[in-house]
Amino acid sequence: MQNIDDSSGEDELIRLLLKRQSELNSLLEITRAINKNTPTAVLIQMLEVIMQNYLQVGKFRFLIEKDGVYNCISKYGGQLESAAILNKLWRHLNRIKTPAPLEGHANSVLAGYEYFIPIYHKNKALAFALIGEFKTSGDMLNNDLNFIQTLINVIVVALENKKLFRERLLAERFQREMELAVEVQNMLIPVRIYKETGIEVGAKYLPHQNIGGDYFDFFRLNQNEFMWCIADVSGKGISAALLMANFQASLQGLASIEDNLTNIVERLNKIVINNTKGERFITLFLARYNENTRKLNYINAGHNPSILYSGGEAFPLKLGTTMIGAFEELPFLNEGEIDIEPESLLFNYTDGLMDHEQQNLKTWNEDKLLQFVESNGELLPDDFNQKLMDHINNVIKGKPIDDITLLTLRIV
């Protein structure tokens, strides 16, 4: 007759083997679901079914770390605690690296659970679980706790991989968006330097990154008149580039049918408002010059003031209005008009010229810029632009924090 102890030992071994088989099946189902890119909510539901039906866990909290905060992504059983209370529990547990009992814990919330399950990766805490009303004991306890830790770890790794995959997709999308924005902006920048008997133009564009919000244009309106614009759109990327492309097309279209700068700016403001619903704005300096009358009409719409050098003096051109795209109706609009003397220089720029990292305002500000223009206003446009950049590199150690665009005109 078989020994009773032998019989009970065989029964225990069979029970253990069946339990291990069930654990492997559970892990296999979870792994298959992960490989099929099953939504996170479904993975959590599968985890809860295994915890409740197979492991007989009556009370469960599963928290995962994100930016230093622990968010509870699964909870059932018992009286549900608030998210704030659950998040604060980690401070009582952050030194425990392996599954540990919680019975008699000093914290009243933790004392309501039986076991703590931490999830670490290279000494970095990723998640933890709290187990309560757990119907296992004896020799199976350690096995069950280790299985729970393994199961939760698989889920955490899957969620981390999902996160990394999403981040990679976003990075690739952002990179493609930047490439498209560069293509759009390259089409906006004039491809040739304008030079003829009465006027010479020099331009320099230095993007801070791959793509910026700066724009400039210079074109002849008719036999006697030129128009130019320098502008800066808020924001970066393809949306900013497309807004600027629309702005350029609108400006050139309006300039061909409208003689009045004030009307052009008012209509541009309405176009930008309709396109962006007030979410983006554009600063700009717009000017129109007549070679016969030698009159310059200009509007400064919230932009850095262009500088006129004439007769050995330099002064800023500030008349205008606020930025366009910010208000349904511009609160004020003052158009400037100036007689241009021969051999005058007009210097236009964007705010990147004035903003640098670790900038000392005593070495570089608008007054210093005016002094530089007065000292170098006799130079040709390209020579002026290059000397200005060399000067900035000498007096300012910090790098520019935005795009720099220079548009310089010599009117003879």
* pLDDT for residue 36: 83
- Residues in the chain where the model's pLDDT stays below 50: 1
State the DSSP code for 311.
Answer: T
Angle between helices 237-257 and 261-276 (to 10 degrees): 150
Domain ranges of the chain: 4-167, 189-411
Asked if residues 161 and 38 have their Cβ atoms less than 8 Å apart, the reply is no
Beta-strand pair 199-206/404-411: antiparallel
Cα first-last separation, the chain:
122
* pLDDT for residue 27: 80
* pLDDT for residue 1: 47
CATH 3.30.450.40 fits 4-167, yes or no: yes
CA 248/CA 187 separation, integer angstroms:
11
CA 356/CA 362 separation, integer angstroms:
13
CA 186/CA 188 separation, integer angstroms:
5
* pLDDT for residue 282: 92
CA 78/CA 84 separation, integer angstroms:
17
* pLDDT for residue 13: 58
Asked if residues 313 and 345 have their Cβ atoms less than 8 Å apart, the reply is no
Assigned CATH class of 189-411: alpha beta
* pLDDT for residue 314: 96
CA 389/CA 10 separation, integer angstroms:
87
* Beta partners for residue 407, in sequence order: 203, 348
pLDDT tens-digit map of 286-339? 999 999 999 999 999 999 999 999 989 999 999 999 999 999 999 999 999 999
Which amino acid would we find at residue 209?
A: Q
CA 263/CA 242 separation, integer angstroms:
23
